[in-house]
Amino acid sequence: MIEVDSRGRRCPLPIIDLARRLPTVAVGEVVRVLADDPAAANDIPAWCRMKAQEYLGSPAPDVYEVRRLR
Amino acid sequence: MEFIADPAGAPAYLDAASAAPPHPVARQALLAALADGWADPDRLYAAGRRAQQLREAAQGSVADSLGVRQDEVSFLSSGTAAVHAAVLGGLAGRARAGRTLVHSAIEHSAVLHAAAQAGDAVPVGVDLAGRLDLDAWRSEVGAPGVALAGLISASHEVGTVQPVAAAAEVCAEHGVPLFVDAAQSIGRVPVPPGWSLLTASAHKWGGPPGVGVLVVRKGVRWLSPYPGDDRHRPRPVGALDLPAVVAAAASLRAVLVEAQTEAVRLTGLVERIRATVAATVPDVEVVGDPVQRLPHLVTFSCLYVDGEALLHALDRHGFAVSSGSSCTASTLRPSHVLEAMGVLSHGNVRVSLHRGTTEDEVDRFLAVLPGVVAGLRAEAGM
């Protein structure tokens, strides 16, 4: 699984990190984002909705999983 | 050093939801009342009686504007103070029923702070457009131990008008008083009846800052949370800024005369902003209900953009706007309103218009915005 470590980075940087890594993720594959900015919990699912990607949830604190759909 | 400025024109103030520029009537009334209404209205000599007459006239005028009784209207030192008095006094008056405040998840932070101090707060969620979940409201208001319910008339952050009439019906069924924070509606759009307590803030409608209005309907139990003589009627803590109160009352009257025409005009300008921003700025989300909304307020979020940087960039171009992004708040947390809706919280901009806002200002803002957003994205490597 591809991991993006955005810990210590303020929003919107974790979202920018995720968007920039997306081209390296195969369609159908899952990318895991590590982010401790409080806005990430809200903005990662919102980004998925806007960009038509699948938000899989937060399996642990400060960890978010996204599946590339397109 | 070369000075590079955008020759966009005069500065445009687009943050009326924080404070509207004073209405001309507010200026006139303020100056007149400063000359005539500076004395303590509770004193018995001539100057005091004159001040008392002014206070009562202002109270009567605001009551008339809001369609309530004169003795139901109190003035406090700000909209926030009025909200605190409504929540704390409303909960205290119903202590025998319980200590729970049921409130929408998108209330102004003044409601949440007051609730945190006084009792148990139970938030009720909203949908993606920012509208109250009425089913959840029904079950929470009907729960045991509910002393008070609180619903904002329309969201101060995204403009979505709330189902106040339906929420009030639910409250009436369960005998729970409803507090409506109407700061963004008063002077612009009517607020449906059925509430027990209502607050407003004069500088949101074009009155001076430092005047809050609290209405407690007859028969509603309210108990002062402050030290003071009269425990059952809201009173300002300390001296009232009577000249400002007079100006608030006069400007509300003037604003209401124009309100319908202005609502139509500003609704059109907001519609233009909603449509143009969505069409000219890539990766943007215009939030809030597109139809059931305040006439003067629109909010959008731009992906990959830092809200504070966007605010400063727009300020350099002469545009004053506001933002709910976490980096612009003192807390480092994103706006609880945007969070409750589940919409993007970074790159957030709230534009709110007033009677002085021109079509030209809106068009200049719309011309400048796409380049500003693109520039910030390029700096961030997007």
Among B214, B238, B254, the domain boundary falls at B254
Domain total of chain B: 2
Q: Which amino acid is at B274?
A: R
pLDDT tens track for B155-193: 999 999 999 999 999 999 999 999 999 999 999 999 999
Q: Determine, for residues B342 and A42 on separate chains, whether the beta-carbon distance falls below 8 Å.
A: yes
Return the active site residues of B. Answer: 327
Nearest to A38 among B283, B333, B380 (CB): B333
CA nearest to B163, candidates B174, B178, B153, B173: B153
B326–A38 C-beta distance less than 8 A:
yes
Residue B129 lies in a domain: yes
Quote the pLDDT of residue B1. Answer: 45
Q: Which CATH superfamily is domain A2-67 in?
A: TusA-like domain (3.30.110.40)
B6-15, B94-103, B162-171: least confident range: B6-15
Q: Is the Cβ of A7 closer than 8 Å to some Cβ of chain B?
A: no
Q: Confidence band (pLDDT; 50, 70, 90) for B63?
A: very high
For helices A13-21 and A40-50, what crossing angle results, to 10°? Answer: 40
Is some CB atom of chain A closer than 8 A to the CB atom of B329?
Answer: no
Inter-residue contact B153 to B179 (CB < 8 Å) = no
**Chain A CB within 8 Å of residue B227 CB:** no
pLDDT value at residue B108: 96
Same domain assignment for residues B234 and B358: no
**A46 contacts B334? CB cut-off 8 A:** no
CA distances (Å), B374 to each of A13, B184, B250, B365, B369, in order? Answer: 16, 32, 45, 15, 9
DSSP, res B206? T
Residues B74 and B100 in one domain: yes
Give the containing element (helix H, strand E) for B282: none
Closest CA to B34 of B213, B251, B242, B212: B242
pLDDT tens, residue by residue, B105-164: 999 999 999 999 887 999 999 999 999 999 999 999 999 999 999 999 999 999 999 999
Rounded CA-CA distance B326/A39 in Å is 7
Shared domain for B231 and B281, answered yes or no, is: no
Domain carrying residue B181: 24-254
Cβ–Cβ of B304/A50 closer than 8 Å?
Answer: no
pLDDT (0 to 100) of residue B24? 98
Q: Where are the beta strands (DSSP E) in B117-273?
A: 120-124, 146-152, 178-181, 197-201, 212-216
B67-79 pLDDT, tens digit each: 999 999 999 999 9
Q: Quick check: is B211 in a domain?
A: yes
**Residue B40: CATH number of its domain:** 3.40.640.10
Question: Does B329 score more than 80 pLDDT?
Answer: no
State the smallest CA–CA distance between residue A29 and chain B in angstroms: 22
CB A47 within 8 A of CB A19: yes
The packing angle between helices B109-118 and B79-93, to 10°, is: 30
Q: Where are the domains of chain A?
A: 2-67
Residue B7, in any domain of the structure: no
Q: What is the mean pLDDT of chain B?
A: 94
